[in-house]
């Protein structure tokens, strides 16, 4: 029994997650940080708010009490959970966690509404153009930006499985680290995969969630 425990511990400690979410026996590798920007928003102009990231919700901390009663639309269950923690008026949760799919889901729901998209300085989906093409009255409010971390590098073990949960993870990782042929990459979804180096192999999580990525990483280590 002790051998099995030790073996599993070894495998699990060889999984690297490129964000700060804590999971048991998973190593966090911080390659980027979130910089929240000063904002001042007149929420009285809007009937609907769109959120595609938990960071967008956190960025509204200074606006507490001003936006929670406006209809909120979340791209994924994890985002919706955080909205509910803020006691917001959640109206809809996306089905696929993909920005472009989410935009198409929103079109019939946002007709004749004044919409505000709370977003990062750099986004990768076509959510806004899709909604504008559908004649949805949408504006963007940039409330945060992702910056590559300048923290000291760590030694990544050979045969590691590295989880990339966003295009920013990919960009910042390859600015700091070189890829070893023994590494395996798990990507959270197709959008993230489109930013991964085309000459490297990877697998895409069957479900776009960190927990699904971790489960897949464990499978890869046991092969």
- Kindly report the CATH number assigned to the domain that includes residue 172: 3.40.50.10090
Structure confidence at residue 60 (pLDDT): 97
- Bridge partners, residue 114, by sequence: 137
Q: Are residues 112 and 192 in the same domain?
A: no
Same-domain status, 20 and 80 = no
**185-221: burial string, b at 16+ Cβ within 10 Å, e else:** bbbbbebbbeebeeeeebbbbeebbbeebbebbbebb
Q: How far apart are CA 53 and CA 75, in angstroms?
A: 8
Rounded to whole angstroms, the Cα distance separating 206 from 223 reads 18
- What is the distance in angstroms between the CA of the first residue and the CA of the last residue of the chain? 20
Q: What pLDDT sits at residue 25?
A: 82
Question: Can you give the pTM of this predicted structure?
Answer: 0.85
DSSP secondary structure code for residue 32 in this structure: E
Residues 187 and 170 in one domain: yes
Q: Which residues pair with 198 in a beta bridge?
A: none
Which pLDDT score, from 0 to 100, does residue 12 have? 47
Full 3-state SS string of 91-143: EEECCCCCHHHHHHHHHHHCCCCEEEEEEECCCCCCHHHHHHHCCCEEEEEEE
Using only the alpha carbons of the chain, give its radius of gyration. Answer: 19
Give the model's pLDDT for residue 1. Answer: 31
Q: Give dist(CA 106, CA 100) in Å, integer.
A: 10
The answer to whether 39 and 55 have CB atoms below 8 angstroms apart is: no
Same domain, 47 and 16: no
Closest CA to 117 of 73, 83, 86: 73
Strand partners, 120: 144
Q: CB–CB of 75/69 below 8 Å?
A: no
Show which of 147, 168, 202 is a domain's final residue. Answer: 147
Total structural domains in the chain?
2
| Per-residue pLDDT, 7 | 41
* Domain hosting residue 188, numbered range: 2-31+152-221
CB 57 within 8 A of CB 79: yes
The whole-angstrom separation of Cα 221 and Cα 184 is: 9
**How many CB atoms sit inside 10 A of residue 56's CB?**
24
- The helix/strand/coil state of 67 is coil
| pLDDT tens, N- to C-terminus, the chain (223 residues) | 333 333 444 444 699 999 878 888 899 998 999 999 999 999 999 999 999 999 999 999 999 999 999 999 999 998 999 999 999 999 999 998 899 999 999 999 999 999 999 999 999 899 999 999 999 999 999 999 999 987 778 889 999 999 999 999 999 999 999 999 999 999 998 889 999 999 999 999 998 889 999 999 999 988 7
Are residues 143 and 40 part of one domain? yes
């Amino acid at each position: 029994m002790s051998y099995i425990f030790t073996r599993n511990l070894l495998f699990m400690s060889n999984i690297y997650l490129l964000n700060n979410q804590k999971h048991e026996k998973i190593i966090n590798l911080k390659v980027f940080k979130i910089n929240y920007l000063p904002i001042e928003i007149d929420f009285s102009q809007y009937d609907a708010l769109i959120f595609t990231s938990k960071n967008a919700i956190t960025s509204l901390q200074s606006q507490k009490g001003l936006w929670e009663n406006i209809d909120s639309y979340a791209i994924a269950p994890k985002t919706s959970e955080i909205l509910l923690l803020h006691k917001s008026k959640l109206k809809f949760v996306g089905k696929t966690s993909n920005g472009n799919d989410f935009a198409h889901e929103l079109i019939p729901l946002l007709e004749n509404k004044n919409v505000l998209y709370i977003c990062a300085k750099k986004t990768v989906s076509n959510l806004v153009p899709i909604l504008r093409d559908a004649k949805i009255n949408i504006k963007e409010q940039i409330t945060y930006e992702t910056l590559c971390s300048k923290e000291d590098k760590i030694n990544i073990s050979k045969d590691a499985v590295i989880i990339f949960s966003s295009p920013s993870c990919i960009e910042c990782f390859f600015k700091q680290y070189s890829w070893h042929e023994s590494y395996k990459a798990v990507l959270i979804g197709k959008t993230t995969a489109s930013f991964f180096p085309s000459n490297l192999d990877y697998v895409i999580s069957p479900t776009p969630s960190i927990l699904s990525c971790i489960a897949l990483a464990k499978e890869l280590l046991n092969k």
